[in-house]
Structure formats: C-alpha cells, structure tokens
Amino acid sequence: MATIVTRNPHTGGELAAYETMDADGVETACARAESAARAWAEVPVANRVALLRALGTLLTERRERYAALITAEMGKPITEALGEIDKCALSCALVADRAPEWLADEVVDTPAQRSWVAYRPLGVVVAVMPWNFPFWQVIRFACAALVAGNAGLLKHSPNVTGCALALEAVIDDAAAACGAPAHLLQALVVAEDAVPQVITALVDDDRIAAATLTGSERAGAAVGAAAGAALKKVVLELGGSDPFVVLDDADLDAAADAAIRSRFGNSGQSCIAAKRWIVQETVADAFVDRVLTRLDRLVAGDPADPTTTIGPMARSDLRYAVHEQVVATVAEGATLITGGVLPQGPGCHYPPTLLDHVSTGMTAARMETFGPVACVIRVRDDEEAVAAANATAYGLGASVWSQSDRGLAVGQRIRSGALFVNAVVASDARMPFGGIGRSGHGRELGAIGVREFTNVRTVWVGDGAGLPVIAE
C-alpha cells in the first residue's frame, strides 16, 4: 500500500509517514458518513450548535498542539499558526450563536393558510481543501456543513495529512462530548495519483449530495466538471490576484503597513493576499520607500521561533514556481527592487520580493503569484487604477486606500467578491466569502455560506379549497 510522507519545509526533514486508504477504506468512510448524516439531520439546529461550541472549546484547549502541527507541516510562523487556531475557535462560537437564526424557517405571506421557506440538510458533502490554512479552511467549511445538518468527507492536501487527521479526531471528540453522532467528518488519506479518480467517483456516488473545493483553478475545473456531470451542487473558492489600490490621498503609512501584512503574511501563500499594488504615480515613490523600510523589518527563519515573521514556503515545487514567475516578469521589463534570488541550503525559503514598474500584461500581474512576491503597477489617475484592477480573470477580493469618498467610489467599480476600503481583505464568519470569474462561485461563511449546503425548500399548506394557481 502506498504511503504519504510529510516533510518540514524549514529543514526538508521527514515528519511522518501515513498509510493511504484503499478502495475498501474509502467505501467504509462513505458508508459511515451517510449513516452519520441521516442521524444528524434529525437533530434540531438548536442542538447542533452544541457541537460547534464543544469544538471551539477543544480547539482553544489544544491550540499550542495544533499550532505546532501547522508550523511543522506547512511552515507557517508559530505566532500566525496560533492566530489561525484562535480564529477557528472564534468562528465556531460565532456560527453557533447565529445559526439558529440563519437556518430558521422564513414565513412568507401568500394566499396559503401557511407558507414558509425551510433550510434542510443535503446529506454528505465532499470537501477538497488546501494546505495554506490547514485548520481554518476546513473549520470554515465544517462549521457551515455540520450546523446545517450534513456530514463531510475531507480530502486534504497530502503535505498536511497530520492536520487532516487531527481535525477528524477533534470533531469526533467534540461529538462525543455533546452526544452527536460519530464520523461526522472523516479524512480521506488517498495516494496523490489516485485523487482525481477517487474524487470523481465520490461526486458521482448517489450517497454524496454536494462538493466544495478551495484550491487551484485546475482542481476546481476538475471537481466542477465532475459535479456538473453528476448534477450535484458545488462551491468553488479558487485563485486570486487581488488588487491593492493606493490613491494619491491615501494615508501612505497605514497603506504600507497593510500592504506588507496582506502580501507577506503566511509567506504570501494566501488567495486573498494583496498581490498587485496599484499605486498612483504621484505617491508611488513615497509608497515604495515606506514598503522597503517595512520589508527590512521582516525576520526570516525557523517558523517555530516566535521572533520569525516570515517562514518558508510550504513545498519546494511551489517555491520554484514563484521564482520562475519573478524571473519571467523581470525579463518582460519589470524592475527587481529586492529579493528574487533562490536561496541555497535546505528547506523551502524564498526572500520577500518586490517588483516595480510592472504592467498588467506581465507574468506577475497576469498570473496568481502564490508566495512572498509583490508587484507595483503605477497608474496616472482613478480611471487607470480601475482599469488596472480589472485587468485580470480573477475576482476574489479588492482593497482600496483613500482618505476621501474616492476610495469607495473606485472600489465599487472593481470586479470582486469582496471589497475592503482602508482595510486588508480578510474572511470573517459573519460575512459571506467567495469570488467571481476564475476565482470561483458560491459562497462560504455567513448566512449564505451556511445555506449553501441546504435544500432551500418551499412549504405551502393550503386549505384544500382549490386556490388559484399563478401559471409559470
């Protein structure tokens, strides 16, 4: 049987080896999930929220253990990993507080004696999740799916297999603590070359009701195609090349602080990172100077050291891919201000890199750069800023910086699933999250995200007297 080996991206050393599931193992997981979903669907929402509260408590109690696992498997600085676990715990509490309202029947005034909209569970949801936020990505899916009365099958990235199994275990522990069914979320440890066939077969399985994926466009297209062929619901959160627009009346110090935090947090490995800095020419030099000062303060090194602020990239192949994008963009005419040199030695480190005088057609602006690389696109005015921001196939988030109403006015003209003015694009359990264009479709989080995994059901109770029917 094949094994999955996880490695420390700081040292390159082996962490653990995991046996992969065969076809029987996947079948067992699917059968368990179906059984758990049937039982869980009959539990009222008011009781389901107890699972989220228990889960949040356990995440808080075990935060150091889980944060250390994140840091070891994908290289996130330990302070950021602790923040990720804290965000997961907070989100469990927030969803538990609001889910009874979000999933309550909605009475509609019609000629019927009674009529309402109900939100009923779908069943088993297959979730394909990425490595960059190995706990948060899963928890934000699981909170929505589970509180809506569903069960989940988790296919996590192989380099964070330890995180996947820890998530399965902590949800089982939370279920046991509150009397919920076991096996509400199960991790599928599948050999990498078998993943496409396994996911396609699962989506086609009559026991699977829906699928969700956060990841690359290629993976999203594959899962979307499988779901389309099977006529199943699918939610896709894919790549992003978010614009970070700095207008000439912006607070440049605040904008520079935010730009660094957004672009270089998690070593730049975030779909909502500020990847394209679109700056008006009259303030571009001053903005770049401020950014460089802040880049010098970043501390690269061992992500387990609390003083480290930028750790390694998660895998060597990802590091080489980003470096090739930098090299291509410089060859296309961009100016390399700092970084851009592939380090020697073990691990997957890559230096914070800044490219200036980038145009919208260059590689770093046209493609998603999933690493610690930022590019500055200089524009003349608001019109050109909007055009540059929209010169992308992606549409996940957008951030605009201005000390006047121009910020919101410019932002409203940018195509994106989220708009943040004088703030860094972020996800919040109370607000829907997702994109348009090649950034995917459907929404996670908020009331809409919870309802994505439900059957929105119309219920009409008549009096039997033959009310008139309005033709379609």
- The upper half-sphere exposure of residue 339, i.e. CA atoms within 13 Å in the direction of its Cβ, equals 24
From CA 378, how far away is CA 337, in angstroms rounded? 15
What's the Cα-to-Cα distance from 163 to each of 51, 66, 170, 432, rounded to whole Å? 20, 8, 10, 25
How deeply is 35 buried, as exposed, middle or buried, from its count of CB atoms within 10 A (0-12, 13-18, 19+)? middle
Residues 6 or more apart whose CB falls under 8 angstroms from that of 230 comprise: 203, 204
217-230 vs 195-204: helix crossing angle, rounded to 10: 30
Which of helix, strand or coil describes residue 241?
A: coil
* Residue closest to 64 by CA, chosen among 48, 47, 78, 50: 78
Structure tokens at 102: 């979000």
- The upper half-sphere exposure of residue 178, i.e. CA atoms within 13 Å in the direction of its Cβ, equals 22
Residues annotated as catalytic are 237, 271
Residues 6 or more apart whose CB falls under 8 angstroms from that of 375 comprise: 275, 276, 277, 329, 334, 354, 355, 356, 358, 362, 364, 365, 369
* Residue closest to 214 by CA, chosen among 325, 268, 139: 139
